[in-house]
Each structure stands twice: as structure tokens, then as C-alpha cells.
Amino acid sequence: MEDCSRTGFHDFNVASRKAEEAAWRRYEAAEWLEREVGSLGISNQPSEREFISCLRNGLVLCNAINKIHAGAVPKVVDCQMPLQTVSRDFQPLPAYQYFENVRNFLVAAEELKLPAFEASDLERDAVDKGSVSKVVDCVLALKSYQEWKRTTSENGSNRHLRSPFLMHSASRMYSRSSSAISSDACRRLDLSATSDKESSLEGDFQKPEGKIVESIIKLLVDCMGDAKENIDGNLAASLRNAQQDPIKLFSEIISTCFGDQLQTKFPDLALLLRGCTKERSTSSNSTSRASDEYTPQSFKVQCCRGCTTKCTCSQKHLFDLQEKEIMDLKALLLRTKNEFDEMKSQFQRDLNYLGSQVLEMSTAACGYYKAVKENGKLYNMVQDLRGNIRVYCRIRPSFSAESKNVIDFIGKDGSLVLLDPSKSQKDGRKVFQFNRVFGPSASQGEIYKDTRPLIRSVVDGYNVCIFAYGQTGSGKTYTMSGPSGGSSKDMGINYLALNDLFQMSNQRKDIIAYDIYVQMVEIYNEQVRDLLAEEKTDNKYPFLDWLYLVPQTC
């Protein structure tokens, strides 16, 4: 498992590094094009789609190549729009017109032996096909070609480029910016020396490498009049068709022609040919393979072999730098991996700690829930012990008409002694026993205080019934509802109980949802009437005799 994940991680890193490298190459190509032909109307760091969309009409490419190699594309079809307005998916030209630009550019690029791409690589689906890199390679090769041209003209080294060796060195010179690009450029020069089968020598005569071949042929023709039988009677044709390396062929012919005199007559040429032959014989197999199937890596090896004795190019230095960079990257990767592992184990520890905390909390919550339940049970048990049925007596203040006071004694234990004034003290004394007796001065709050615990029993799921009983004018309505037009401190048991019900259900809303229903009926002259009914009809409840208010909860 671990190995798999490591391999996956490695693959991912390689892929992301490749993508990053491709992106940088693309940015470099875009930046260079902007420098050469002006704004492309895309971002500094364009996506692949952006990059090919601004090149699709071929105008930018044609202008760029013409700037470096005047007249490379003789006729450029202009879209007559400022480049800045070329947006990602906007193409002002008809397809065939910009196709002409692209095709002309590709022909010019081929003549300069730049890495080729196809017109379809500028289409929208090129991003999906992954062929945008070909376009980038071509642009960067053009850039390298420009740099090389500049360097050689500045150094005045054009005249030295008659030697394939020097061409090779020159190719190294103008390849400093990008190994891949320089490789392409080197291949271009190298192919000229190894006689690319597909290219025409006559066509190449216009280029430096073509001039070398031309010089070789001229020299051969001049010098080899009497040695024709050695080379099929047609030197130029022989060179064109050559299965053999022209340099090698040339070397053999010159040696045959001049023999030992070559060294004395043409010492520079003899030295050059020795070097050529030596290099080609040591790397003939690999070189021919490399020219058939070229890769940037193969170029590096070839180049560095060539420079083992006296390194005149920057390739080895570049190679060393890259090697150092790779080592640094490896070290960075290792550090990142270690940090990642450390973070992973830290996260694991934190998660474990969090898990144990949650477990503790849930255990505590379970315990708390059990305790609350137990508490509720005990609470209601106390209510039961205080009596399932409790009877309280409230004595209304006497009106002025009621001159005689009949109350003899109110006991704290709920006893009440009344005196009947029409009878003797002995016969007129009557004793009653209640759960509690409230005197005329008792407030509404005091009355409710004793009833309140029962309201909690209601929300705990117990059935509770509170009602007032007494003769007319004894104060039932006053106790249950309060005086009409009274303030909030005069509220009766009904309102106070409902207040508490709502409050408790609100407190427990996270645990349980309560539905509260209210009915209010009046029983008068043995008739039950719904006081909350919207229509004042005779809404009768024949089965209820004395129910006053019943709060219900679900």
C-alpha cells in the first residue's frame, strides 16, 4: 500500500513538473512574440487555449518570422484589426484566409528547419490532443534562431560557419536559453551535415549549411577531375543520393586525391577532416540514430561527449546546473514529504484527541439525560406524595354589607374554624381541613405559588386538572382569571399557568416540541358553552358538568 502511494506521489510530481515546465515554455514563447510583434491581447501567463487562439490566424507567426528572416512569408493576409482586439475565441478572418497565413508560415518554418507543427494544432481541440507543445517548440526555436543569428552577426562569425564543426559549436552558442530548443536547432545543423534524406541540397544552398555542401561539391569537382572513376562519375548526384555521410565521403575523396600532400597543402582542412572523421566514426551509430529519432536527452549526451576534452559550450555547465537543481528538488521533495508525514501524524493525534473528547461529552450527556429523567421522576413522586388531589381554600375579602365576620381561626396546617353567629359558640363552631387556607389578604401570586409545581408535571407528561368551586360571588373567576381590567400582577391561575407552559416548552425546544391547545368553556344553568368559538352559537358540551379550563399537551 505504502509503495503504491509513493509511486503515485512520484508520478504525480513528475506530471506536475512536466506541466509546470510546459507552462513556463509557453509563457516564454508568448513573451517573446509580444516583444517581436506587439501585444497579443492575452494574459502574461496564457493558458494553452489562449496561446493558440492568438496564433490561429497566422498573422502573429508570419510577422514574427518575417521580422527575423525578412521575406520568409512574402504575402501575409492581414485581418486589418489591431492585435489587441484578438480575443480568445474571436477570429475576424474567414478560415481559408488565416489558413493561408498559417500554411505560408509552416512552409517558411520548414525552410529554416524549425520544428514543425500542423495547422490543425492551432485548432481548439489541439488542447485536448496535447499538441500545443509543438507550436510552443516551433516558436521557441524561432526565438533561438533569432538569438543565434544576432550572436553570429555580432561576433562576425558567419565566415567561420563553413565548417560543420563550427556550425555545431555555433548551434551550441545560440542554444543557451533552452536546452530543448537548442537541441532542435542543433539537430537542424547536424542534419545538414549528415545529409538529411528528405531535404534537397539545392534548396539548402541558400542557407549556411547549404553553402558548406555547395563548397564541398565545388571543391570536389575542382580537385577530382582525374578521380571521377572513384565516385560514380557524378559527384553532386552522389552526394545528393548519398547513403554515405557526405563529410566522410568528402574526406575519403580528398585523401585519395591529395594523399600525403593534403597535410602540407591544406593543413586546416586536414585538421578539420580528421576531427570530423574521428567524431563521426566514434558516434556513427548513435549519431545516425539520433538524427533519425531525435530527443533532447540524446543531444545532451552527444554534445557533452564532444566537449569532454575541451569544453567550449555551455551545455556541460547547463547540465551540471540542471543536475544540481534536480538534487535540490529531490531534497525539497524529501523535506516536503517529511513535513507532510509530520502534519499527517499531528492531524491523526488531534483527531484522536477530538474523538476522545466527543466520546467523553456524549457519555456526560447520556449521564446528564439520565439524571434529568431521574430528577423528573423524583419530582413527580414528591408531587404525588403531597397528594394527588389537593384542595385549597381562599377566603374572599368581605364586602361592607357582610358586617359579621364568621372566620374564627385559620391554621397553618390547613385548618379553618368558622363561627355561625346565629348559634351558640359551642354549636356554631365548625372546623374544616384543607391542604392549605389562604386568607382574604392573599395575593394572586401566593395562590399560584402552590399550584405551579403541577405545571411542570404537565410538561413531564402527567395529567393535571385545576378547577375552582364555590357559591356565586365567592371569587372563582377572580382566582382563575383575575379581575376584569386588572393589571398583569392580578393575573389569575389560568394565565400564569399558560405563561409557564410556554416558557418551559421554549426551554426544552432543543429536546422536544410541544403542541399546546386551549379550550375555554362556560357552564351556566347546566349548559356548557365554548367561549373561544368564533360564532356565538349554542356550542354545547353535555358531557362536561363543571370543567373550567383544561390545558393539554402532546
C-beta atoms surrounding 290 within 10 Å: 21
| Least gap, CB of 471 to ligand ATP (angstroms) | 7
Cell of 101: 497565413
CB of 533 to ligand ATP, least distance (A): 20
Q: Which is nearer to ligand ATP, 474 or 519 (CB)?
A: 474
Q: Please identify the residue of the shown chain whose CB is closest to the bound ligand ATP.
A: 475
Contacting positions for ligand ATP (CB under 6 A): 396-397, 470, 472-478, 483
Which residues make Cβ contacts (< 8 Å) with residue 550, sequence separation at least 6? 465, 519
> Is 58 known as a binding-site position?
no
Half-sphere exposure for 439 (CA within 13 Å, toward CB): 9
Min CB(506)–ligand ATP separation in Å: 31
Which of residues 238 and 479 has its CB atom nearest to ligand ATP in the complex? 479
The reply, when asked if residue 472 is annotated as ligand binding, is yes
470 in a labelled binding site: yes
Q: In sequence order, what are the residues at sequence separation of 6 or more whose Cβ sits closer than 8 angstroms to the Cβ of residue 50?
A: 42, 43, 88
The DSSP annotation for 129-152 comes to HT-HHHHHHHHHHHHHHHHHHHHH
Grid coordinates representing 258 are 591529395
Show the cell assigned to 215.
563548397
> Of 298 and 474, which has the nearer Cβ to ligand ATP?
474
CA 166 to CA 10: how far, in whole Å? 41
Q: Which one, 92 or 475, has the nearer CB to ligand ATP?
A: 475
CB nearer to ligand ATP: give 56 or 394: 394
Least distance from ligand ATP to the Cβ atom of residue 389, Å: 21
Q: Is 474 one of the annotated binding-site residues? A: yes
- Give the strand pairing for 392-394 and 436-438: parallel
The nearer residue to ligand ATP, 157 or 474, going by C-beta atoms, is 474
156 belongs to an annotated ligand binding site = no
| Smaller CB separation from ligand ATP, 66 or 444 | 444
Query: Which residue, 271, 266, 138, 161, is CA-closest to 214?
Result: 161
Query: Is residue 476 a known part of a binding site?
Result: yes
Cβ proximity to ligand ATP, 230 vs 477, nearer residue: 477
Amino acid (one-letter) located at 392: Y
Nearer to ligand ATP, 469 or 517 (CB): 469
What single-letter amino acid sits at 252?
E
Residue 392 near residue 450 (C-beta atoms within 8 A) = yes
CB of 402 to ligand ATP, least distance (A): 11
User: Does residue 211 contact residue 205 with C-beta atoms inside 8 Å?
Assistant: yes
Please state the closest distance from residue 513 (CB atom) to ligand ATP, in A: 36
Cα angle value 197/300/31 (rounded, 5°): 90
Maximum Cα–Cα distance across the chain: 177
DSSP letters, 397-458, are PPPTT--S--EEEE-TTSEEEEE-TTS-HHHHEEEEE-SEEE-TT--HHHHHHHHHHHHHHH
**Helix 2-37 and helix 315-385, axial crossing angle in degrees, nearest 10:** 120
* Least separation in angstroms between CB 529 and ligand ATP: 14
| Least distance in angstroms from the C-beta of 487 to ligand ATP | 14
**In the complex, least distance from residue 536 CB atom to ligand ATP, rounded to whole angstroms:** 19
Cβ neighbours around 5 below 10 Å, total? 9
State yes or no: 473 annotated in a binding site: yes
CB of 468 to ligand ATP, least distance (A): 7
* CA atoms of 490 and 485, how far apart (whole Å): 9
- Cβ proximity to ligand ATP, 8 vs 397, nearer residue: 397
Residue 101 and residue 98: Cα distance in Å, rounded? 5
Q: CB 439 → ligand ATP: shortest distance, Å?
A: 10
316, 50, 59: which is closest to 176 by C-alpha? Answer: 316
Element (H, E) at 523: strand 521-524
| Residues constituting the chain | 554
Exposed e or buried b per residue across 307-329, where buried means at least 16 C-beta atoms within 10 angstroms of its C-beta: beeeeebebeebeeeeeeeeeee
Which residue, 83 or 480, has its beta carbon nearer to ligand ATP? 480
Find out whether 277 is annotated in a ligand binding site. no
Binding residues are: 470-477
Binding residues for ATP are: 470-477
